[in-house]
Structure 1
Amino acid sequence: MKLTGKRIQLSPLDHSDYDLFIELSMSSQVMEHVYTPFTYAEAKAAFEVKSQPWAATSEHWLTLGITEIVTGEKLGSIGVKIVNHQANIAEVGFMVKPSAQGKGFASEALSLLKEYAFTELGVNKLTATCSVNNIGSYQLLEKLGFEREDCLRQNTKLNNKLVDDYVYGLCLAM
């Protein structure tokens, strides 16, 4: 399975995504608003989980590597997890390396994933959760039609500090 846009391609994580996944998962800069950076062992274990085969009935994430088509450069990853199979609700999440941020790659990746989730997976609603301090992520979500539905106070512990999170939702237009 591959999703192809104008500048990027999304495909299930494989060995070619390993080095960047580990780097991003251990980076204090990238993880500042996501979670406490992983140790190497934790990052390796997370990669193994996120790169396993996936089906629409799976309980784990479908994680896709983001690759620039022209250069073949690995830019990050994006994923979807069906969190409620009965109501067809899925969560999305993404990580893009700093040198690729602000260039529209995450926007294109999320647009491709949205289309796939609604048309191929039959999802009724997409959700996303991000730190209130993660301005780039929530601006991207809002740009692509996600609506802020809630603010969860002291919802996530990052670097031994409780932070608030915004919850976003996007429903399939009926």
Structure 2
Amino acid sequence: MESRVLIQQFGADDFELYYQLVSDEQVMAMITGKAMSRNEALEAFEATLVMNKKDPILGKYKVFDALSREYIGSAKLELDVQQHKQAELGYMLLPSCWGKGYGGALAQALVEIARRHGGHKSLYAMTDPNNVASGKILTARGFTLDRLGEYKGMPSKFFSMRLD
């Protein structure tokens, strides 16, 4: 089955796409609790480019609708620096794309990339406890809820999935 989403690593010319997402109050409310300023976004984007140069597959991605090629959000598959056999899966969608099935398609595509890439035995993801939709997306793709906790001062639900 062909995916509804097209995923490509962010490149040097993609800052405005990235900024469109991270400067959106609605999007960031469930990620960090607040939108990024342009300077904060530039700093984070530069770090993204450095990370993306380290691996041709893992990193942070821009995401498009596979048919229309419309920009719909971003995603990440990052190797955990403490647990080298584990990678973090994450995604953010523009509010106009919420509730349209993109989150599920994107999570599935990321799981498939992680399986093909190899090298890690598990994935993990975190959601805001109020983001019920993301929790359902993750569990529908085989993730299990491990615990409730905090991440960088924000309440979080922690999910994981074995790949082997």
Q: Shorter-chain TM-score: what band? A: 0.7 to 0.9
TM-score where L is the length of structure 1: 0.82
Matches within 5 A, 1:126-145: 126-145=123-142
Q: Identify the residue that residue 6 of structure 2 maps to in structure 1.
A: 9
List alignment gaps of at least 5 residues for structure 1.
Answer: 158-162
Structure 1 stretches of 4+ moved >6 Å: none
- Are the aligned partners of 1:5 and 1:112 in contact in 2 as well (CA < 8 Å)? no
Say whether residues 1:93 and 2:90 are aligned partners: yes
Say whether residues 1:164 and 2:155 are aligned partners: yes
Taking only the aligned residue pairs, the percentage that are identical comes to 24
**TM-aligned CA distance change 1:108 to 1:76, over 3 Å:** same
Matched residue SS, 1:45: helix
> Which deviations, in whole Å up to 9, do the C-alpha atoms of 1:100-144 show, x marking residues without a partner?
111111211211111111222332100011111111211211111
Q: Which moved more, 1:114-123 or 1:25-34?
A: 114-123
Superposed CA RMSD: 2.3
List alignment gaps of at least 5 residues for structure 2.
Answer: none
- Are the aligned partners of 1:17 and 1:74 in contact in 2 as well (CA < 8 Å)? no
Cα distance, 1:151 vs structure 2: 0.7
**Comparing both structures, which one devotes a greater share of its residues to strand?**
1
Matches within 5 A, 1:32-71: 32-35=29-32, 36-52=34-50, 53-55=53-55, 62-71=59-68
What residue identity is the alignment partner of 2:104?
S
Aligned residues: 161
TM-score where L is the length of structure 2: 0.86
- Are the aligned partners of 1:10 and 1:67 in contact in 2 as well (CA < 8 Å)? yes
CA distance, structure 2, for counterparts of residue 51 and residue 87 of structure 1:
20
